Structure 1
Amino acid sequence: MTSSLVRGRPRHATAHIRVRVAHALVGAVAGAGWLAIPVLAAQEPATASAPRTTAAPAAPRDDESSAVDLILPVAVLGTAGVVAAYSYVRRGRRASGVAPSAPAAPTPAEADRRARAALVEADDSVRASEEELPFAAALLDERTLAPFRHAVHTARTELSAAFALWHRYEEGEPGQALPGIVGRCAEAGRVLDARAGELDRLRWAEVGPALEVAEGAFRRLAARAADARATVTELRERYGPSVGARVAGCAEEAMDRLVFATARLNEARRAVDLDEQGRAVRQLRAAEGSVAQAGILVAGVDRTARRLREAAALVPATLTGAEAVLATAAPAPSGADDTLAVVREELTAGPYDPLDALRRITRALARLPGARSGVLDTAADLVARAAVGEAEDFISVHRGAIGADPRSLLAAAVRTLAAPHPVEAAVLARRALELAERDVRAHGLPDSDTQGTAGAVLGGVLLGEEPDGGPPVTFGGPETRGRFRTG
């Protein structure tokens, strides 16, 4: 049976043993040569000075001849040993395939995993940096803030290019795109990391003013959150339970983030009173991140209400325009007539989702030439903007659990909408939202806690590296975004 120690020995250890054997043989030959030097030195003078006519004693002469005769065989054997050892080492290195010092190339699966991780990390860094800038803007003039805005813009540009590469890779482009994705993400992080320390010096020279800014933002947002809850009730009654459930989830999560912000602002105020600046900054930054996400959620409720009103006003005209286009189509798309008939019934049957109605109409006629003009084009653009906005908000406030695929699809939807191809953009955005919701379900919804810490970890406000939720995420790239760790 093979020893476990032998089985567990790494391959490069064998190469080291071969090298040591070669070194030992070289040392042996060198030692033999060194011992032979005195014999050679003694032999040469004795032979030169002996008279030819004088008979030398037989025994000493025989001893000297024997020593001289041994030198050549020893040298030959030593040289052969060195050559054999060198050949043995060379064969071993060739058999291993690479030099011991060369790093192994990543497997395709490992390269894919690295690219995914780089995209998620860079996207999180850009989002967190964007969320911090409004708090900095309340304390700094625009000229001072300009380099940080430029850094975020540059990082966002690099990230967009990385997502475009990833999209092509997923559509079948060879894996050579993966190093480019990692490189783009690394550059996005480097740009943000380079500005992180400077922003800290400007923002946290005095914590008191920053705390007052955050407390003011919190109070204004708390009032808006109360209004959002009333909006949820109105939307549920007007547009039905599906719409009501969607906006109700946003309002509930906004309140959860505000509960967390309340606790952290109180801790920051106590730390300021005790002159514990480091603790005050950590607590304040966590509160800022949570207030920013509550603001995204509340704004999402308001934006949804506005777009639903726009859609409801647009549905009758869109339906009429679709029927006119369909009447001249030859051949008509399969199922288009049925889709329009169902939507027309919904108009008189009671509460319905007007955005969903527009989405079905525009998608049913997407391949017809007349679908890209007039009211149909307006409807398709409204549906796409609503879908992209909903996916963007969801990923922003759940990014602690969301992987690369939903983020990539959202980036593709943004590019497609700008093309402009609104129907295709809406499809991509809805798929991004579906995958993001799947990731959150797989991660697990947070248990209710009195201070909302679990929700802050799910939202990426905290890094989640410690039992208390870990450090708050700050402006910066992967090297600096978690710099406010305790201690």
Structure 2
Amino acid sequence: MAGFWGSRKKEREELAAADADLARNAQTALVEADERIRTTSDELVFAVAELGNDATKDLRDALDAVRTHLQEAFHLHQLNHDEIPDTPEELRTRNARIVQLCEWAGALLDDRTGALSEAIARARRAPEIIARVRADAATLRTRLPHARDTVERLAARYSDHALAQVRSNPAEAEQLLGFAEHSASVAERRRDAGNREQANMALEAATESVRRAETLIDAVETFEVEALRAESLLAAIIEDSREDIAVALREPHSPAVSTAIGNLQAALAALPAAGVNTDPFEQLSRLREANSGLDAAIAAARERAARPIPPLEHVRHAIDDADRQLAVARDVIAGHRGWIGADARTRLAEAERVRQDLDRALGTSASTAVTIAEDDREPTMAHARRAAFLAGEALQLAQRDIDQSRPQNPDSWGGGPGWGGGGRRDGGSGVMGGLLGGLVIGSLLDGMFD
């Protein structure tokens, strides 16, 4: 008994200690959150001065929300210290809520101030950034003559279509550099006038314009290198394409392979003569596409050669077998509808769906199709066998349902044992057995032709 009371006393002491720690944490969190609001309010003043009201709206809204919720935290703390006695549970709940509100406030302000920190640092470095924009623009202007010369040199070698992506780059880059220099001057004047928001917008426009101008100038030099590389690669692909055609002519032929060979030959014949301005990128893409088509056609032909095509007669046997199985299953289920359960009906419905999918795949009735393309024979046979299998299952399930539903007393059928007094002791199962046996024999005979 003493041990029990000792254990309970220890639990109470531990809970009291935890409550005391929670109370101290709530007070500390409340002080830190209040100080954070005051510090962030000062930062907002500097941010507005640097970035303007629009750019700092999110931080201002966050401060308003934090102030509102912190009033709840102060109110809860006040309730903890008023003259009305509180239970330990009430104190624990309030302190936990205070800690929660203060942590939320700190996280929200961290997120909003973090989002503005880079923009504020950038705004404070505005004079340095303006100077760098002007220096970068001046450096890029020295590259413009070389870019123009490069375009003229490329125009003597490549077609207008090939040069369409870089022909106007030098002119566009020059316009962007002029806009960047003008925007830098606007940013400087607006900043001196105290309009920091417009100054920052103009500075961003100047920085982006310099970046785009540099990209355009670099693209001219990159195009020249890539065009030379494409020409070199084109020569190698032309040689490979001719070898591929020679190999393909020795491969097992199919209509797809013949078409692919013709496409590759046409792509080779369309290559311009020496001395004509060309588009090596377009020619390279055309040859690659024709080569890929030939590779795919050869691979398909090899796969087909490794897997013999089923004879049309075998495919027709499979279709006929499926139709015969379906017809018998339909008749049995229709003739004993009151006895047939869901399983047999479901198998029959699925078999009919597979059979209908087969007709849709061929675009005509499979049972009356004059011919079936070689590529369609294997999937056609698979669908037909699937339909026959499902129909066979439906017939077996129907037989099970009929056997289970038929009265066990032979005399109840009238006329003595068996059906109609004919002395059949199997209650008609011999009829179904004959049907199933006929189907099995038919399947075996068909299998002899596969």
TM over 0.5: no
- How does the TM-score come out when normalised to structure 2? 0.36
Larger Rg: 2
Structure showing greater relative contact order (alpha-carbon pairs closer than 8 Å, 6 or more residues apart): 1
TM-score, normalised to structure 1, is 0.34
